[in-house]
Amino acid sequence: MAPIPPPPVESLDVMSDHTTHFGFQKVDESAKARKVAQVFDSVARRYDLMNDLMSGGLHRLWKAFTIAQSGVREGSRVLDIAGGTGDLALAFARKVGKRGLVVHTDINNAMLARGRDRLLDKGFPTPATQCDAESLPFPADSFDCVTVAFGLRNMTHKDKALAEMHRVLKPGGRLLVLEFSRVWKPLSPLYDFYSFQVIPRVGQVVAQDAASYQYLAESIRMHPDQETLKGIMAAVGLEKVEYFNLCLGIVALHRGYKF
């Protein structure tokens, strides 16, 4: 069995010399967005199938839990950031009804197009906007709920993106961040084997792309742990920040409010 590569010593995304992490690689900040775009351009066609295979379908339960914790109801205005192929946006669209609004966004055109088409096919002509989460094209105090599911770890300046999410929330609104996190320590060896040995091989067979799924495993290891992310959310102005560990910390849902 090949050894699992350790993460670099530097655990912060952005470093003082204007470099950042792309998985375990150290790259220039300006190059990260391009590299992430290449990953999602490559995997967009098989993205939903790979999600089901990698998680055993659990990602559907994690997203259902997110919706249950969102407080969204009929008539709510929801912004789904890094919404990818639109499964979360679709669930929210069904919940807010015709009096509500769901805006589906992603920085990657290939992912956004697949999500837009899915929503249209299901009868929900939801607005779709290609944009960078670090510079959202929406007025302040616009949304009752902002969500980002499995997208924050790919952002170069997480604090800047979270500050933008806080800005566009209405007073009393809430931000939900669903993301891979730090697993229960006794489970780490098995989880590492699965992440670095199994997932890239499945990615090669199903999507003809092992490298993108190697990046996936590495990006999870570089993402802030539960307490660190909670602190970042509080630092940008969110209040009553809490998190829920799912599947022994493989995934965590963070929730914070704007008052």
What are the residue boundaries of the structural domains of the chain, listed by start? Answer: 33-257
- The pTM (predicted TM-score) of the whole model is 0.90
Q: Which residues of the chain have pLDDT under 70?
A: 1-17
Whole-number Å distance between alpha carbons of 213 and 192: 13
Rg of the chain (C-alpha set): 17
Lookup: tokens for 253: 């849902």
In this predicted model, what pLDDT tens digit does every residue of 96-116 receive, in sequence order?
999 999 999 999 999 999 999
In this predicted model, what pLDDT tens digit does every residue of 13-54 receive, in sequence order?
555 568 888 888 888 887 887 888 888 888 888 888 999 999
Question: Could you tell me where the DSSP H helices lie in the chain?
Answer: 29-43, 47-55, 58-69, 87-96, 109-121, 158-168, 188-193, 199-207, 210-222, 226-235
The domain defined by 33-257 folds into Rossmann fold (3.40.50)
Whole-number Å distance between alpha carbons of 25 and 114: 29
Interhelix angle 109-121/29-43, rounded to 10 degrees, is 40
